[in-house]
Amino acid sequence: MSVLVNKNSKVIVQGFTGSEGTFHASQMIEYGTNVVGGVTPGKGGQKHLDRPVFETVSDAVKLTGADVSIIFVPPAFAADAIMEAAEAGIKVIVCITEGIPVKDMVTAREYIRGKGCTLIGPNCPGVITADECKVGIMPGFVFKKGPVGIVSKSGTLTYEAADQVVKAGLGITTAIGIGGDPIIGTTTLEAVQLFANDPDTKAIVMIGEIGGDLEIRAARWIKENCKKPVVGFIAGETAPKGRTMGHAGAIVSGADESAAAKKAVMRECGIHVVESPATIGAKVKEVLG
């Protein structure tokens, strides 16, 4: 089992022929991902990386049966790309693009509501189901198959957590990098719920950061509904108040958005909170017995 993507997923790349799309699509293909084509307006009918290039997402879906899309489109056009994918019937949309205007994302998120799709990102590393399917920019060699699901706001900490878990003798079902922008598609809670319902995921690693209340909402749901052990970490302990750190959403505007406040709530809700990402693997091994 896996969540969101697996070896049968048919993936297209929006912004296929650009430098970012080309590089990461090549890496995804090398990992074994079933990339069935890509979309670059004005280049429909061409071949790229030995795959067909389509003029529109709709054309790609009709001719390849694509159900997953990854977006490498400049910020000014990325929200339109998200909406185009949803309109064409793509079920899982992964948007890597950083710097999309907030008002554009508000429009896009509202537009895709009710379209039956899941948006991951923007400004995220993507999704990987270990040894099956990589839809993103993460280093695939770090991820080995096993019983642990990862949800993270931070790309770098996603890789670090996976590495720690694998070195502890375990492995990953799926890792979801949800992104750190103020407006994102899939929340921490929604990702945790996917793992809670996946029979092959025996433990969950939840990595958050200062700002917002995504981790608090997830923690309260976990306390009431999740029987699986959850290991948590919050980044940004030393960040100055009122300053954005790295991610556009990582800014503390209230007392309950600090790292200390989030960790306190998480502990109250039964989450095994670690103080350093370096101890994630050991803690997961401990809670799984």
Output the domain CATH number for residue 62: 3.40.50.720
Residue pair 277/160 in contact (Cβ under 8 Å)? The answer is: yes
Residues 57, 198: one domain?
A: no
Output the domain CATH number for residue 157: 3.40.50.261
Residues 31, 96: one domain?
A: yes
Quote the pTM value.
0.94
The 10s digit of each residue's pLDDT in 97-120 is: 999 999 999 999 999 999 999 999
The 10s digit of each residue's pLDDT in 223-234 is: 999 999 999 999
User: Which of the four pLDDT bands, split at 50, 70 and 90, describes residue 247?
Assistant: low
- Which sign, positive or negative, has the C-alpha torsion 257, 262, 264, 266? positive
Residues acting as catalytic residues:
247
Q: Which amino acid is at 10?
A: K
Instruction: Find the domain containing 98 and state its range.
Output: 11-120
Residues 159, 213: one domain?
A: yes
Residues 145, 276: one domain?
A: yes
The percentage of the chain sitting over the pLDDT mark of 90, rounded to a whole number, equals 90
**Residue 196: pLDDT over 50:** yes
Q: Per the domain annotation, does 235 fall within a domain? A: yes
Residues 154, 244: one domain?
A: yes
Place of tokens 């406040």: 261
The 10s digit of each residue's pLDDT in 32-81 is: 999 999 999 999 999 999 999 999 999 999 999 999 999 999 999 999 99
Mean pLDDT of 190-199: 98
Distance CA 25, CA 33 (A): 9
**Residue 250: pLDDT over 50:** no
Give the sheet arrangement for strand 133-136, strand by strand: 133-136, 126-129, 172-177, 145-152, 203-209, 230-235, 272-273
Instruction: Choose one of 60, 87, 120: the last residue of a domain.
Output: 120
